[in-house]
Amino acid sequence: MKVLISGKNSYIGDKIGTWLLASKDIPFEVDFLDVRLDSWKKFNFWGYDAVIHVAGIVHRKNITDTAIYHKVNTVLPVEVAKMAKSQGVKQFVFLSTMAVYGMGKTMKGAIITKETLANPRGPYGDSKYKAELLLKALENDHFTITIIRLPNVYGKKCKGGYITGYASIVRKLPAIPDAFNDVKQSVIYIDNLTEFCKLVIINRDGGVFLPQDDKAVSAVELMSTIAKAVGTKRCTSRLLGLGISLLSFTSVVNKGYGGIAYTMEASKYEGGNYVVKPFNEAIKETLV
């Protein structure tokens, strides 16, 4: 099976390519397409079974022009998909985002189900959702559109520092503040994501998918798991947790202890088990 990854030299794209090439299920051929310059429009898509589009820009404080988000996250993937469709590609996989729901972390824990409607509020989520709608309009019996709405992605050397940020906090604290254990956050380990991408291509499954690890976790569970992974003894403290509870109105606490999660039911995939690394093992591989 021949796959083209549009978005050269990206963390996720490189990991997907490596994973597919190592597949023991079926043999894959993988190529990468640099879409930063218009020269990609001269590329020959004939012969590829699927295109995985990973190129895009996420939240950046230094980018305030919404037109840039629109150009990169909306116009570009649709142009690539149209070109791929016109040259016989059978499937287009678009990496979208949980941000299309327009929900931020809350201290009550925002929950997303299969029935939750998209309602983007920022330029990032809005640009991704507009791309989704335009891509779905291209779908027919010969061209499958696969949309993957990703939660936070983590893994060794992954940019963004979601897990490493918590690890830094764990190393500095004498104990883990025990609070808001019912507030969960969805995440996905890079190996689980790459396996998911492989499966949807093998099965040629279209639609909208919400993958995550084998469980959504609270900040307390996340930090406790990190402590074990790095060999740092940290007990949980209800007293420190009380302090966190009293400061729940602050943005700092909301960022650390708030949550937004997919239900596990929403993340089920009938095409196979994509969770090749359970959460605890994935955290250890990320940090050690």
Q: What is the mean pLDDT of each run of 10 residues along the chain (288 residues)?
A: 94 97 94 94 97 89 81 97 98 98 93 97 94 98 98 90 88 94 97 98 97 97 95 94 94 94 97 97 94
What is the pLDDT, as a whole number, of residue 54?
97
Parent domain of 51: 2-153+188-212+263-276
- pTM of the complete model: 0.95
What average pLDDT does the structure give for the chain? 95
Find where tokens 């840039």 sit.
68
Give the Cα separation of 245 and 280 in Å (integer).
Answer: 26
Nearby residues of 195 by Cβ (< 8 Å), 6 or more positions away? 19, 274, 275, 276
Pair 235, 178: CB distance under 8 Å: no
53: CATH:
3.40.50.720
Q: How many CB atoms lie within 10 A of CB 70?
A: 16
How many domains does one find in the chain? 1
- Report yes or no on 67 lying in a domain: yes
What is the pLDDT, as a whole number, of residue 103?
94
What is the pLDDT, as a whole number, of residue 161?
72
- Report yes or no on 80 lying in a domain: yes
- Report yes or no on 256 lying in a domain: no
- Report yes or no on 284 lying in a domain: no
Question: Which pLDDT tens digit goes with each residue over 209-246?
Answer: 999 999 999 999 999 999 999 999 999 999 999 999 99
